[in-house]
Copies of this chain bind each other. A is one copy, B any other.
Amino acid sequence: MQIAIVLFDRFTALDAVGPYETLGRLPGSETVFVAEQAGPIRTDTGNLAITADKTLAEVTNPDIVVVPGGPGQTPQMDNEVLLDWLRAADTTSTWTTSVCTGSLLLAAAGLLQGRRATSHWLALDHLKNFGAEPTGERVVTDGKYVTAAGVSSGIDMGLTLLGRIAGDEQAQAVQLLTEYDPQPPYDAGSPQKAPAHLVERFRADSRFSVA
C-alpha cells in the first residue's frame, strides 16, 4: 500500500510529519513524499526542508493521499498541476486525506463537494466556498475522505485511520511506541479553550488570513 504525502513550498512541517509518523507505520505500506519537482521543499519558517523523493508525475496510483497545509497552501489553490494530480489520484485512492488547510486544496480540486470536512480553525469557513460542510471536529471522516483540523491534529488523524485500516491493536502499538500520551502544559489548543484575546488577535491579523 502506497501512502503519498504531498509537499509544496511553505507547507507546515508537523502537518506532514504527524501522519507520516503514525499512519506511515501501517504494516506493508511505503510512504513517499511527492512534490511538483523532486528535491528539498522548504517549510513555512524557511528553517526546515523535507526532501520530495518523487515528482507528482512519478506517483500516479497512491492508495492513500495525504495533503498537508500551511501558509503555502494559498498559492497552490490555483496550481492546476497539483489540483489535476489530486483529482487523478483520487479516482483510484482508497483514502484521500488532509491536515490543516490541506483540506482547502482537496476542496479546490472539487473533492469535498457536499461532504463534511474540517480544516485549521482560522480556515474552517472557507470550506463552504467549495461546497463542503465545515465541522469543528478534530478528525472528520466522510466516505473515503478524512480531514483533520490544524497542524498537530494530523497525529490523531493518522492514528484514527491506522486503526480503521489495520485494527485497534496496531494503532495502539504505534501510539505506545510514539509515546503519544499528550500532556500539554496549557489548555489553549482550540479557539474555544484559548484566551479570547489571542483568538481575536489571530482572526484580525491579515498574515493569518486564508483564501
Interface residues of A (CB under 8 A from B): 12-14, 17-18, 20-21, 24-25, 30-33, 40, 45, 47-51, 53, 100, 120-121, 138-139, 149-153, 155-156, 159-160, 163, 168-169, 171-173, 175-186, 188-191, 193-195, 198-199, 201-202, 208
Bound Cα distance A25, B13 (Å): 13
Residue in B closest to A199 when the chains form the complex, CB atoms: B176
Minimal beta-carbon separation of A156 from chain B (angstroms): 5
List, sorted by A's number, 26 A–B pairs whose CB atoms are closer than 8 Å. A12-B21, A14-B17, A14-B21, A31-B47, A121-B179, A138-B183, A139-B183, A150-B178, A151-B179, A151-B180, A152-B179, A153-B179, A155-B184, A156-B183, A160-B185, A163-B185, A169-B195, A171-B185, A172-B186, A175-B188, A177-B208, A178-B189, A180-B184, A180-B189, A182-B182, A182-B189
Partner of A47, one of B12, B14, B20, B181: B20
Instruction: State whether B17 touches A45 (Cβ < 8 A).
Output: no
Contact A172 B156 (CB under 8 A): no
Rounded to whole angstroms, the CA-CA distance of A153 and B151 in the bound complex is 16
Query: Which residues in B have their C-beta under 8 angstroms from that of A30?
Result: 47
- CB of A195 within 8 A of CB of B172, answer yes
Q: Which residues of B contact A49 (CB under 8 A)?
A: 50-51, 53
- Please give, as numbers and ranges, the residues of chain B lying within 8 Å of A175 by CB-CB distance: 184, 186, 188-189, 194
| Candidates B33, B156, B159, B181; contact of A48 at CB < 8 Å | B33
Expressed in whole angstroms, the Cα–Cα distance for A182 and B190 within the complex equals 10
User: In the bound complex, how far is the Cα of B179 from the Cα of A151, in angstroms?
Assistant: 6
Q: Which residue of B lies closest to A3 (CB)?
A: B47
**Most chain B Cβ neighbours within 10 Å, of A20, A25, A120:** A20
Q: Give the residue of B121, B172, B190 whose beta carbon is less than 8 angstroms from that of A194.
A: B172
